[in-house]
Structure 1
Amino acid sequence: MRIDFYTHVHQCQRKQMFNLAMHAGEINYNEPEKLLPLAEGLAVFLRDIRSHADHEDIFIHPLLRRKMPGSARTLDNEHEELKKELSNLEENFAHIQLLTNQYPKRQEQGLEFYRALNRFIANYLCHIDKEEYVIQNLWEIAAAPELGGMMMAFQVYNNPEEGRKWLSNNLPGMNFDERVLMFKTVELMAPESCFLSMSKIAEEIVGDNAWQSVKQHCDKVIA
């Protein structure tokens, strides 16, 4: 099974963005009470999209930089620009919330926020479309244990119980070389805490002797 880092989460993001854009376009910015639900939706959106970008930077881009450095550089640069746009959106909306009821241009300021939000969405849609094609190329270049290793590292980082389940379901069916390559990839590219957690779980699953053999051979592999 191919490891797909993007499709499901990007589908959720598209739905979230479109709903937020419709909400931002429908409300009357002259009614402060109407801003509260939009503020809550924007806060959730900003939190989720920043968290997703951080996860990509930690668990996907290290492998991309090793296998496809040109594509990784492009995506890294786009991430930085998108982060700036998110900060601008946040500042723009915070300013609207501070405007008094007597300020004559609240609605116009809200319209500018709405347009800026949609400009961000347009740029972000192009970005995630590019990511989804990059991952297809990565499937052809990276070995399955390399991709699986970074996915399992993410699972252990994000939800330890889910990570344990992933390892329990997949590790027993992997041959020795696949196990070595997977753990070497995680050791090289994932946070050390993920490698240590995965190592502990793996030892519980395959036993001390089998795990020590994998660990020793990791030093001999160049991934």
Structure 2
Amino acid sequence: MTTAIHADAAPQDTTPAPAQRFDIYQPIHKALRNFMGDTLSRLGRVDVTDAEDLAGALSQVESLLDFCAKHVRHENDFIHTAIRARQPAGASRTSEDHVEHLESIDALHKETRAVYDADDAQRHVLALRLYRHLALFIAENLQHMHIEETANTAALWEHYTDEELMDLEARLVATISPADTMLTMRWMVPGITPQQRTALLGGMKAGAPAEVFQAVLNAVRPHLSAHDWSKLTRDLG
């Protein structure tokens, strides 16, 4: 694992008030934080003697790792490329982080497979090792996302209009498969504010096929409280 934590890693937040500009990072990063926290918690409480419980937890770990790897590539291909086009060294720090993230993801996949393959005597030790290393990976990613949401966002807002950033996001989203879109919605919708949910799903209701919109609602409903679901259905009409 190459992950390291530095006390001085997070810069001061100097970005303008987020309501003033289109924020390309915030919703997907809330999805990532939600997915990461739930997965770490599930792995921490897993019963390694229960085959079904263990398989479910490890499957979620692998799903999270795959999600993170795709997210890194999306940011490299679209967001970092956009920053470098108008500020050549603007995304250098987070680009370097991404190299380490992909190395860590590969190492964590190997540790996950080791837990699958372990005998009963070793499984507890290997599951605990995976839990601790996943926690370090998540901790580094939380700091990394803060840098993206402050320094990288400031660079985007300096060099791009909101219309350009919305077009950039639309081109990125167009590359995501339907299955990955559903997975993103599962973690994003419960992780964002009621106002953000209404804006996101209201846009989907207006622009997506009715069956796709209904499938998203069906996917997220079990993960919203009754109060949040009531707000959402009221606001969506």
TM-score normalised by the shorter chain: which range applies? 0.5 to 0.7
Q: Is residue 83–residue 155 contact of structure 2 (8 Å, CA) maintained in 1?
A: no
Indicate yes or no: 2:139 matched with 1:122: yes
How far 1:29 moved relative to its partner?
2.5
1:45 aligned residue: 64
Regions of 4+ moved over 6 Å: none
Superposition pairs of residues 1-223 of structure 1, within 5 angstroms: 2-101=21-120, 104-133=121-150, 134-158=152-176
Give the number of the structure with larger relative contact order, counting CA–CA contacts within 8 Å between residues 6 or more apart.
Answer: 2
* 8 Å CA contact 1:25, 1:114 repeated in 2: yes
Structure 1 residue 6: deviation in Å? 0.9
Aligned pair in 2 of structure 1 residues 150, 107: CA closer, same or farther (>3 Å)? same
Q: 1:93 to 1:158 in 2, by over 3 A?
A: closer
Change (3 A) 1:40 1:149: same
Distance 1:86 1:59 in 2: 21
Question: Which segments of 5 or more consecutive residues in structure 1 lack a partner in the other structure?
Answer: 170-223
For residues 7-54 of structure 1, the C-alpha deviation after alignment (integer angstroms, 9 at most, x for no partner) is 011111111111111111112334443311112211221222222222
Aligned-residue offset at 1:157: 3.3
* TM-score relative to the length of structure 2: 0.61
The two structures, once aligned, show a CA RMSD in angstroms of 2.7
Is the 8 Å Cα contact of residues 40 and 134 (structure 2) preserved in structure 1?
A: yes
Q: Give the distance between the partners of 1:53 and 1:100, measured in 2 at CA.
A: 34
Matching residue's letter, 1:121: I
Unaligned runs of 5+ in 2: 1-19, 179-202, 208-237
